[in-house]
Each structure stands twice: as structure tokens, then as C-alpha cells.
Structure 1
């Protein structure tokens, strides 16, 4: 069961979710979660969906995740008006699923509701059966459990994907957290190659998302693990020791909602902030450096 300290940890802003001087923009947002998600889904255009919104193909599409305060400044600069006012796509900034998750997490924490960003895989997109994705979890005090919401999905995406469920309370199986996905693949209940992003998939990508989810739970929603495209082929081979370590990590993260207190995981998160391919790169550079 989640402790009161853990819930307080997720009810407080971190450096990425803090709206800072733009908190006033939250005042007119709807109280009901489905309506809130509808508003947030119209503040950003997801880069992968840009063409569907009529964005010209020559338009630059930056994907970098920004702190919520910077994102809100960008939203306000492109369209001067309350957040509840519908914005034309060309008057919205570009981002990815993580930006929508951070925005929802920020608005909920602003209301004192424990919320956290999760990394994992969604089952409701075209392409891979389990697509790399980020959503927001929020604490349901009356039920004593976490629920999931996807603030990215708007009317256009809902129609395009044939989604009929409530994205403000995702049904079981719609989204798998990275540790749950790791368990599923390792038990061979699902093919590891069905999990991924674009050309990248398999156990190696699952292990990337496992670490990104751990760090997100430590309020480090952006990390060096996001540079997974920089890993060379040699670095994508997982040793028996690494597989076993990931098995234990997945179990610990899942157990953190029941029997393991979150502070026990924080030192582990601190120890994995630098991915192995970056460590090897630094080691190679040090080896080439002339001796003093």
C-alpha cells in the first residue's frame, strides 16, 4: 500500500511539472478529469500526428520535452487566451506524448492530487502491438489505487484509432508500464519484438523503458536514457547479469505500490542515471586521453 510520504512526494511539484508564474492559467480549467484531458489535448500538436492536423510538411517539428513552465509560456505566446479556448493547430507548439503527460501531471499536482508520469507501452496505436508511450497516473483516494489517463488523445485521434474507451481512466491492458511489459516479455506471454518505437524494439528497448520509468518515478522524467538512438549495436546486447538485474528491478517497481516503500527505490534510480552506452563512450574517451 502506498504510504502517506510517497503520496505526498507525488502531490508536490518537481522542476519539470512546476508551472511557476503560469499557475494562474490553471484557474479556469475544468474540474472533471475527462473535460480537463480534452482541454490539454488541444494545447500541443504531437509531432507524429502533424500531417493529420494540416501542418505543412516543411514545418520544423521539435520533439524535445520541456519543463511545463516553458511549455505554458510557449502555449501563451502562440495563442493569447485562456487554456480552455480552442486553438487552431498552427497556433500550438509541437511536442510528444510525454509533454501531454507532464501537463496533466502538473495540473493534478497543482490541485494537490498525487500524480506521476509513467513510461511504457500503449496498445491502442497503429503499427506495433505495444507502442512506446508515456501517460499520467493519478491517485484515486476513494479506491486506494492508481488510475491512468492519456491526455494526448483528442477527437481526431480517437476517431482515427477507433478508440471507444474513456482516456481519462484507461481500461486494464490499454497501457502497460515498462516493468509490467518487461515481465510479460520475459515470461514469453508476449513477443519482445512487439514492443518498441519505430525500428527499435525487443528486450533491449524494453530495458531502456524500464530504466526510464524508474527515473520518471523519481521525478526525473527526462534523462540520458532518452538518447537511446545513440547506442551502437554492440551496446544492445544484454548479458545474463543485465537480464537478471532487470527482472529484479521490474519486480521492485511493481512491488513499490504494495509492499516496498518508494524511498527504497530512489538510491537505485540515482545509480542508473547514466546509461551503459554513455559510460562506455566516456571510458573510451578517457582511454584515448594522453597521460599527464
Structure 2
């Protein structure tokens, strides 16, 4: 399987003039963990409440923009310790995208994967999450750059895989739900956010995982095409499309090259899957935006805070 396309930058992972910052980070999992957790703090899970600037940071979809803020607030290597208020606000997507950007800067094939984790602090709940996959020459190795070896009972630098593992891909979760093996009431952004749980939420992540697989690492709260809107259920056509994407994703993850090629063809030929130039951005800041991915601009209109998507 040719994985070379994952060794070069996508528009989202491209650091632009900050390439030396990424090149200075060694591409091993421990170094990636130190770099991304010193540069970016989770806007909901940090030790202190996020500042107004850090809340605004969550909509910085481009690695170059994230690094702009890092350098402005606390110049120095990415792995240099920073006080919490000088870190950039973000979420798991930003930690993982930054790790992928470092790997790609070193020519290592890497990509982000979307799914659900059962180890993020709420017993019995599966939180939406983004992790990293890097290709070691023989296989895709999955890791969680937010975690160190002492944080969990399993190896965060080589995550277990498959249905029932601590991190399950969105395709695995959706397939289990469709087969009657899973109730999705406990899958989403958090048990305190019931409008951001359930089939519609997971369905959107199946399609977003495909986008990330195709090197379109958009925000977790970007919505386009056949993805269900916040709080809504997908229609029958969207369900059928999601079933197809999930099935091919599982086969491709198992090493089926024909399925991998079919995913790429489906992505290229079905307009419901590709974000195109514009996406709708339901920011957790409580704003609704229309983002021009070419101009790298978002126009905002206020919406009720409980309509936001939370990562």
C-alpha cells in the first residue's frame, strides 16, 4: 500500500513559516506528547478555566494559525513548559493535528482518526476523540498524543484496536449500533450535553473520519454534505451512505487495499462526502459560522450556546 501521500502536508497541517518549530520536535511518541501538551491546552479539560483568547483559539483550524498563537504568547520550542494561560486553547483534534504535522514535517506518513474513547474521565461514557496514526513501514500504529505511559493502563503510544478497544473508530461504533450491539446514548461530547450524543452525532463523525483520512482535517464542529446537523437524526439516504462508508472503512483498516481504493473513489465521486469550499461551523464558543476554506475566513452569527458542537 502506498502511504506516501500521508507523509506530506495537507492544507490544515501545513505549518508554513513555522516549519522549523515542527522540525525541532523528534518524531517519537514521547516527544510528540511533550510538544503538543505544552503548546495546546484543552479548552474544557485544562487545570484552569480557559481565558477568552483561549476560547477563541478553538476555531483556529490551520496548524500555521495555531503556531502563530504559540509563538506570540510564549516563543520557544514547542515542548518548552508554558504557564496555562500562555498555552493555545484547543481540543483533541488540535493535539493530534499538531502531532501529525510534526510527523509529516519529518516525512513520516501520519493521519488523524476520529472516534470515541472510554478513558476520558466519565465512567461508562464514550467521549468523542481524535487520535494519531503513523505508519511504521509495516502497519498503521495508533497513539493518543494527549497521554503519557503513566496516564492509563494500556500503552497510549500503541493503542489497542478493534471494536471494544479503549478507543474505537467512528465506523466501529456506527457499525455496532446498526447491528444492534450498541446504544449510542452514551456516545458523544459528554453526558452533560445530551443534544451532542446519539446516532446523529456518531453519523457525522463517520463522515468526518473519512474527510480526515482524505487529508481534510476539519474542525470537529464543521458540518457539510450528508452530515447530520446538531441534535438532528440523519435521513434514510444519509444512513445508507454512512453504512457504506463505515463498511469500507472497517475493511480498509483491516488492510483491504480494494476497500481503501473504493473509499477514495467514493470520496471523489459523491458530493455529499466532500466539504467543498464552504462548511458550516457550529463553534463551541456559541457562534455559528460559514467558513470559506479557500480564503481561510469565517463569517460569524450568534446562536444559542447550547447549539454549539463541543469537542
Give the TM-score, by structure 1 length.
Answer: 0.79
How do 1:19-98 residues align onto structure 2 when only pairs under 5 Å count? 19-50=15-46, 52=47, 54-55=48-49, 61-62=55-56, 63-98=58-93
1:62-104 CA-partner distances (Å, limit 9, x unpaired): 3214211111121111112222321111211111111011101
Post-superposition offset of 1:60: 5.5
**CA displacement 1:198-232 (0-9 Å, x = unmatched):** 32211111111111111111111116962499937
Can you give the 5+ residue segments of structure 1 that lack an aligned partner in the other structure? 279-292
Larger Rg: 1
Count residues with an aligned counterpart.
262
**How many Å separate the matches in 1 of 2:201 and 2:235?**
14
Query: How many Å separate the matches in 1 of 2:265 and 2:230?
Result: 32
Structure with more contact order per residue of length (Cα contacts < 8 Å, sep ≥ 6): 1
* Distance in structure 1 (CA, Å) of the matches to 2:185 and 2:169: 16
Runs of 4+ aligned structure 1 residues displaced above 4 Å come to 56-60, 227-230
Contact 2:134 2:142 in 1 (8 A): yes
1:150 and 2:151 equivalent? no
State the alpha-carbon separation in 1 of the partners of residues 221 and 50 from structure 2: 31
Aligned counterpart for 1:103 among listed residues 98, 102, 125: 98
| Match in the other structure for 1:267 | 268
Q: Please report how far the alpha carbon of residue 251 of structure 1 lies from its aligned counterpart in structure 2 after TM superposition.
A: 0.8
- Residues 199 and 233 of structure 2 are in contact (CA less than 8 Å); yes or no, is this contact kept in structure 1? no
Residue pair 1:55, 1:90 contacting (<8 A) in 2 also: no
The structure in which a higher percent of residues are helix is: 1
Mean alpha-carbon deviation: is it higher for 112-121 or for 223-232? 223-232
- Mapped to 2, the partners of 1:164 and 1:224 lie a distance apart of 27
Counterpart of 1:170 (choices 156, 159, 162) is: 159
- Which residue of the partner structure matches residue 287 of structure 1? none
Q: Report deviation, 1:269.
A: 6.1
Give the aligned partner of residue 12 of structure 2: 16
Greater share of strand: 2
Work out whether residues 215 and 223 of structure 1, in 8 Å CA contact, stay in contact via their aligned partners in 2.
no
Correspondence 1:183 to 2:179: no
C-alpha separation in 2, matches of 1:68 and 1:136: 15
**Deviation by residue 1:142-168 (Cα, 9 ceiling, x = unmatched):** xx221211122369xx65xxx233322
User: How much does 1:56 deviate?
Assistant: 6.6
Secondary structure (helix, strand or coil) at the match of 1:220 reads coil
Structure 2 unaligned spans of 5+: 281-311
Q: 1:28·1:84 contact (CA, 8 Å) conserved in 2? A: no
Confirm or deny: 8 A CA contact 1:37 1:168 kept in the other structure.
no
CA distance in 1, matches of 2:121, 2:29: 26
Query: Of the candidates 182, 203, 209, which is equivalent to residue 207 of structure 1?
Result: 203
**Structure 1 residues 238 and 73: alpha-carbon distance in aligned structure 2, compared to 1, 3 A threshold:** closer
Counterpart for residue 231 of structure 1: 229
Distance 1:60 1:224, change over 3 A: closer
- Go from structure 1 to structure 2 and tell me whether the alpha carbon gap of 1:230 and 1:241 turns closer, same or farther (over 3 Å shift): closer
